[in-house]
A and B are shown apart, each in its own frame.
Chain A
Amino acid sequence: MNDDVRRSRTAFLWVGLIAPLALLVAAAVAIASWMPSLPDPMAIHWGDDGVNGFATKWSYIPLVLGIGAAVVVLTALLAWGAHRLPQSSAGPVIGPWSPTTRFMGALNLGLAALIAFIALAGAWVQRGLPDAADAPGIGIPTLIGFALLVMLAVVGWFLQPPSPVSAADEALPAGSIALDAGTRAAWFGTATMARTGVVVLVASLALLAVMTVFFAIVGEDSWWLLATITLLMALLIGTMVVFRVRVNAQGLRVRSLLGWPNTRIPLQRIEKIETVQLDPLREFGGWGWRIAVDGRRGVVLRAGEALQVTRTDGRIFVVTVDGALVAAAALETLRTHAKLD
């Protein structure tokens, strides 16, 4: 680990974990000091027509701030440890620190500010009330909370140093395969999601499912909306675990095992074929069918070698597949032959 990485990690620890937790603890202390003047039960949830959820006043702090702390710690753990987990069977683990982790740290600070502020505002309006049902709405404080989220996320971003630049991952131009004129060729490969990606996606899905059940039990009207989102997410994740890659005279085809998403790039539409080394979390912010910050898109399921195709219209498509070197060489040779015909 070099100095740049160490500096980034220390900054993340302060910005993304210690400061957010401190905010939540400070809010908890403030609310605890108001306890004598707070009604019991307290309002914990507001709907369109005012308060519609109550809980005993001693559960207010663990309920509201406990959820915040759990989110902060989970995000920090993910950012902190993701790169250490195995991301592919072959190839080196790349990039210990990245813009993604920097962003997660900044977001953590913003989220903690939002949750702490809304918890404070929610308790503040109930001070001295005999009945929590009379509590005024907290629409304005909620808006302020979201403004705080954005502000502190921006501050958190700039409090951390720029991510250390790793050795530039150079794109290697495709080689060629021996192929006589008139000979047909086809290459087949499989892109499978790394275990880390599966674990992260399934864990976030489980979190959504738990939230759905929680909302349904609490009687939140919008629980069915969350249920729909959870179901859609499950379907989406299902389509992204295994992709079949095919190179032949028709060009490149990358298709999910379930048939969709299905990308086809004809030979005539290809400008450039290369192989690259890439890292899903660092460069694409996660696993699956992805669009990167730099505009590249494609199927990114594990770290390591990937086939990268630039289309004639300038768009770049990547797919992380074992044997990308041979795939690139075959595609390049077929393209050359197609041009000669």
Chain B
Amino acid sequence: MLIRVDPDSPRPLFEQIAASVRGDVLAGRLRPGDRLPAAREVADAVDVNVHTALRAYQELRDEGLIDLRRGRGAVISASAAPLAELADEVRALVARAAALGIAPATLASLVKETTL
């Protein structure tokens, strides 16, 4: 699991941690059942507050990507599996948007607002 955190970015730190885990799930590097390091471990490794790492994990749990169990720590949930299946299409869409000169933020809000 690769965590990247830029303290100078306007993006909240907890969101950057959550995005790192999400990225690994999307790339298939993290699979259902894989154990994540304890929030304290993560916080210690990238030098952020424990509560920041915990908040990232809670965010991921609310998205259904991980299960948080007392004593067992954080585990990638079974419902995370479909995410990896989307990986190729997401990559293709991002590449296409970049080719058309659409900013990533614009693409993100477009995706968010698209309803079926």
Contact = CB atoms under 8 A, between A and B. Distances in A.
Interface in A132-181: 177, 179-180
B4 A185 contact: yes
Interface in B11-51: 29, 35-37, 41-42, 45-47
A188 B45 CA distance: 9
Given A180-B6, A244-B37, A186 B45 contact: yes
A336 to B, nearest CB: 15
Nearest to A253: B45
Interface in A211-255: 244, 246, 248-249
A58 to B, nearest CB: 57
25 contacts: A179-B4, A182-B6, A183-B4, A183-B6, A184-B5, A184-B6, A184-B7, A184-B47, A185-B2, A185-B3, A186-B3, A186-B42, A186-B45, A186-B46, A188-B1, A188-B3, A188-B36, A188-B37, A188-B41, A188-B42, A188-B45, A244-B37, A246-B37, A326-B2, A330-B2
A75 interface: no
A267 to B, nearest CB: 14
Contacts, number: 48
Nearest to A183: B6
Interface in A27-63: none
A178 to B, nearest CB: 8
A190 B35 contact: yes
Interface of A: 177, 179-180, 182-190, 244, 246, 248-249, 323, 326, 330
Interface of B: 1-8, 29, 35-37, 41-42, 45-47
Given A244-B37, A248-B45, A184 B4 contact: yes
B46 A184 contact: yes
B25 to A, nearest CB: 13
Given A182-B6, A185-B3, 6 more contacts: A186-B42, A188-B36, A190-B35, A246-B45, A326-B2, A330-B2
Contact of B1 (A177, A179, A180, A189): A189
A190 B42 CA distance: 14
Nearest to A246: B45
A117 B3 CA distance: 62
A241 to B, nearest CB: 14
A179 B16 CA distance: 13
A190 to B, nearest CB: 7
A184 B5 CA distance: 5
Chain B CB within 10 Å, residue with most, of A177, A183, A184, A246:
A184
A187 B29 CA distance: 12
A155 B7 CA distance: 65
Nearest to B16: A183
A157 B2 CA distance: 47
